[in-house]
Amino acid sequence: NVDTITGTGWGFLDNFFYFLYSIRFLKIIDIKSAGYKRIMLPIVMLITTYSMKILLGISSMNKIPSLLFREIALLSMIGFTATQIKNGSCRRGKGKSIPINKNTLSRMLSRLTVTEVNDILDETVQILAKKGFICGSKFILDATDIETTPKCEGRGIKKVKKRRYLKQKQEWIETEELIYGYKLIVIWEKVSRVIVAAKVVKIADHESKHIHLNFKPI
């Protein structure tokens, strides 16, 4: 029986990494996050590794060990050493989670502060503009809710209405629920679809509250 069939066609990432180096993007994400007191790997490596999960279309964190961590050449490209790939990145549980535990990536996302995320977004847009990647005259505003647990620092809270169907009564009812999290506001150019501005705010904030005050033209 075959459980999973997957390709390893990530050769296109060679040019992508060259592009990231050429615009010095990796320097932008090479930060010291306030959410960490002690860290075994640089934040730049964690963010880059998670980005590979997105680019390779890996849908679940549970699939990362089998679909991403087995690609030795790609891990080397990200910055992992041969020792880290073979034995792991820390002495605790040596050899069990290589090169890192998959949960390290998910925890990293929750530890980055809103300010740190906004700074990364702002600096990225600025450097893309300087390199001439942003052009056009028509732009689209889009806002997306990002739900989290109530424990996430800096998250917002809002009340939403949800409909559900009661089989016994054979009718739809409307209930109110509280959701927690953030809202990602982005502006992207219509033709190229390049994001020209982005901001993370509390989930209850309406995008109109921020678009005029905080998004500055480049």
Asked whether 121 and 112 are in contact (CB, 8 A), the reply is: no
Q: 107 and 18: one domain?
A: yes
Q: 204 and 165: one domain?
A: yes
In this structure, is residue 158 part of a structural domain? Answer: yes
Q: How far apart are alpha carbons 185 and 181 in whole angstroms? A: 13
In this structure, is residue 56 part of a structural domain? Answer: yes
In this structure, is residue 64 part of a structural domain? Answer: yes
Has residue 215 got a pLDDT over 50?
no
Q: 107 and 142: one domain?
A: no
In this structure, is residue 5 part of a structural domain? Answer: no
In this structure, is residue 170 part of a structural domain? Answer: yes
Q: What was the pLDDT predicted at 25?
A: 93
Integer CA distances (angstroms), 107 to 44, 48, 115, 147, in order: 14, 14, 17, 15
Q: What angle do CA 181, 184, 190 make, to 5 degrees?
A: 160
Q: What was the pLDDT predicted at 165?
A: 86
- What predicted TM-score, i.e. pTM, was given to this entire model? 0.69
Q: What was the pLDDT predicted at 203?
A: 93
Residue whose token pair is 């792991």: 88
In this structure, is residue 199 part of a structural domain? Answer: yes
Q: 22 and 103: one domain?
A: yes
Per-residue confidence band for 158, with pLDDT thresholds at 50, 70 and 90: very high
Q: What was the pLDDT predicted at 28?
A: 94
pLDDT 10s digits, 52-98: 998 888 888 899 988 889 888 889 989 899 888 888 877 665 556 78
What is the domain count for the chain? 2
When comparing pLDDT for 92 and 158, which is higher?
158
Q: 95 and 33: one domain?
A: yes
Q: 100 and 152: one domain?
A: no
Q: What is the domain range of residue 34?
A: 13-111
Give the mean pLDDT of the chain: 83
Q: What was the pLDDT predicted at 94?
A: 58
Q: 105 and 18: one domain?
A: yes
In this structure, is residue 7 part of a structural domain? Answer: no
